[in-house]
Amino acid sequence: MDFNKLLELIISASLINNFVFTRFLGLCIFFGVSRKMETAVGMSITFTSVMVISSALSWLIFSYIMVPLDITFLKIVIFIGIVAAFVQSADTIMKKTAPTLYYKLGIYLALITTNCIILAVPLINVREEYTFIESIVFGLGSGLGFTLALVIMASIREKLELANVPRPFRGLPIAFIVTGLIALAFTGFSGLITL
């Protein structure tokens, strides 16, 4: 296995092509849970694990069922179904086997089901024709990137609460402006790796 390639994948997924700051996906959750550090961290952990497992599952179903049957055009529908079914079953199983974990992270699971990053990752995996390991690593990298974005945003917004923001900019508008500025900063990563 080419470890350099995997490392590059993680860095490119988390920093260079950060889903929030470069591709501008998953903004609803990003703004929804970045108000407090505690919820941001909880969301990040849940998000990353769901992302890794769902990209593995969707890769398996895509390569072993959909490609041989020649029905790859169904991928959007099927990937949504896979994620939704996985999240729902994880929700049920976690409630029974790990109630404490469920109370910490369960509330975020329902939000994740229809998140666009979760759908984008399997779609990109398929488009780039990644192998199984690469798909998982790409999912992990994307999850880390989302975690990074949430943690940065949550720490800034906790400070923003105390700042003297002009009245029309209070709340979401200033959050959007901050996101734009961070996105600008993230363009600095674009030269990090030349693939």
Taking a C-beta distance cutoff of 8 angstroms, is the pair 123, 56 a contact?
no
164 is an interface residue for another protein by CB under 8 A: yes
3 is an interface residue for another protein by CB under 8 A: no
Taking a C-beta distance cutoff of 8 angstroms, is the pair 76, 114 a contact?
no
Query: 62-81 mask for another protein (x: CB under 8 A)?
Result: ---xxx-xxxxxxx-xx--x
Query: 117-156 mask for another protein (x: CB under 8 A)?
Result: ----------------------------------------
162 is an interface residue for another protein by CB under 8 A: yes
Q: How far is the CB of 27 from another protein (least distance, A)?
A: 25
- C-alpha to C-alpha distance for 195 and 190, rounded to whole angstroms: 11
Taking a C-beta distance cutoff of 8 angstroms, is the pair 45, 108 a contact?
no
| Closest C-alpha to 136, from 123, 122, 116 | 122
1 is an interface residue for another protein by CB under 8 A: no
What residues contact 112, with CB distance under 8 A and at least 6 apart? Answer: 29, 46, 47, 50, 83, 87, 118
Residues of span 85-104 touching another protein by CB under 8 A: 85, 88-89, 92-93, 95-97, 103
Indicate the residue among 166 and 191 with the shorter CB distance to another protein: 166
What residues contact 130, with CB distance under 8 A and at least 6 apart? Answer: 9, 59, 138
Number of residues that bind another protein (CB under 8 A): 26
3-state DSSP assignment of residue 34: coil
60 is an interface residue for another protein by CB under 8 A: no
Distance of CA 194 to the CA centre of its chain: 23
Binding site for another protein (CB under 8 A): 61, 65-67, 69-75, 77-78, 81, 85, 88-89, 92-93, 95-97, 103, 162-164
